[in-house]
């Protein structure tokens, strides 16, 4: 009997030890899992806070100066002749972009004589024209880009959504290979319609409006497509567009300007690019028509941009 009692106690002790051992193993495993879960949750929380802080810093507290501003000269051509001269200034420090059209008949100084922009371009090319325009306007251009009307169509086709554009008058013209009838107002233009608008010769405001529409088209493209929603496509957009122009823009120039462009895109609500006008007056008529600018354009830019 005593032997049986002794065995019974031993069995209970053994069962107790097994239970305690199992319980300890459970605590170690469960506790380890809980600890791992807590560590992972904290890591993810810290990563989320870091990501949020980084995104906030990049979009809210990025610091730019006037040294980050860039000036681009765009020359549009049709059938080999220069039609438009547009200066685009992107200034992330002021969160602004400006587009200014210089009339093709604008007079600039070249060596010891005066000459119109389109004539100088035809005779000496874009490099000399750029320098002469810099001397006359006071604007220094970081780069230039020459684009044909045919390639303007390809640019708009690349974006695949046309161009949202406001016509300030009805267009009606037949002749010289151009046929256009379009009512005024807000439109979504196809790529070919954009070129028809650029070629339209009968603007109510005459040659000045014919020049200004060049800047208006550039501004409309920027306002519509320089958007944060296209950030993932920025590099492919650059590759596609740079191949459609004759330019001195290099990949290093694009890389340098990219942070500022990304910042401007993040702030663009559809009207970030303003169209500015060059003050001046036309003299003469017909083939002798010349445009003389009043004052330096750089002063106008500084006035508008602050």
Which of the 8 DSSP states describes residue 79? T
- Looking at the structure, tell me whether residues 48 and 135 fall in a common domain: no
Report the number of distinct structural domains present in the chain.
2
Q: Report pLDDT digits (tens) over 110-138.
A: 999 999 999 999 999 999 999 999 998 88
pLDDT for residue 302: 66
Confidence of residue 182 (pLDDT cuts 50, 70, 90): very high
pLDDT for residue 218: 97
Considering 61, 82, 108, which residue would you say is the last residue of a domain? 61
Q: What phi and psi values does residue 210 have, to the nearest 5 degrees?
A: -60, -35
Give the integer Cα–Cα distance in Å for 98 and 69: 11
**Model pTM greater than 0.85?**
no
CA distances from 74 to 98, 109, 211, 258 (A): 13, 20, 13, 18
Neighbours of 239 (CB within 10 A): 11
Confidence of residue 224 (pLDDT cuts 50, 70, 90): very high
Give the integer Cα–Cα distance in Å for 197 and 167: 9
Residue ranges making up the domain that contains 30: 1-61
Coil/strand/helix, residue 179: strand
Neighbours of 270 (CB within 10 A): 10
pLDDT for residue 27: 41
- Looking at the structure, tell me whether residues 139 and 279 fall in a common domain: yes
């Amino acid at each position: 009997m005593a032997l049986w009692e002794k065995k019974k106690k031993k069995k209970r002790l053994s069962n107790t030890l097994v239970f305690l051992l199992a319980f300890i193993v459970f605590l170690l495993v469960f506790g380890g899992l809980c600890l791992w879960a807590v560590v992972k949750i904290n890591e993810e929380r810290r990563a989320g806070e870091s990501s949020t802080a980084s995104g906030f810093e990049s979009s809210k507290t990025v610091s730019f100066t006037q040294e980050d501003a860039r000036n681009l000269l765009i020359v549009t051509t049709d059938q080999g002749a220069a039609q438009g001269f547009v200066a685009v200034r992107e200034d992330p420090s002021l969160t602004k972009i400006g587009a200014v059209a210089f009339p093709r008949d604008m007079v600039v100084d070249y060596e010891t004589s005066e000459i119109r922009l389109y004539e100088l371009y035809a005779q000496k090319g874009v490099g000399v024209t750029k320098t002469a325009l810099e001397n006359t306007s006071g604007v220094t251009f970081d780069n230039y880009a020459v684009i044909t009307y045919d390639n303007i169509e390809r640019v708009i086709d690349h974006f695949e959504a046309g161009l949202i554009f406001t016509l300030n008058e009805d267009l009606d013209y037949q002749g010289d290979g151009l046929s256009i009838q379009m009512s005024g107002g807000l439109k979504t233009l196809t790529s070919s319609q954009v070129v028809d608008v650029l070629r339209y010769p009968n603007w109510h405001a005459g040659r000045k409006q014919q020049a200004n529409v060049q800047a208006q088209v550039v501004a409309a493209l920027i306002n519509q497509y320089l958007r944060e929603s296209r950030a993932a496509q920025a590099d492919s957009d650059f590759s596609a567009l740079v191949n459609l122009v004759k330019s001195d823009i290099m990949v290093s120039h694009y890389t340098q300007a990219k942070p500022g462009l990304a910042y401007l895109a993040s702030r663009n609500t559809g009207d970030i690019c303003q169209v500015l006008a060059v003050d001046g007056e036309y003299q003469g008529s017909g083939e002798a028509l010349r445009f003389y600018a009043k004052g330096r354009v750089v002063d106008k830019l500084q006035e508008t941009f602050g």
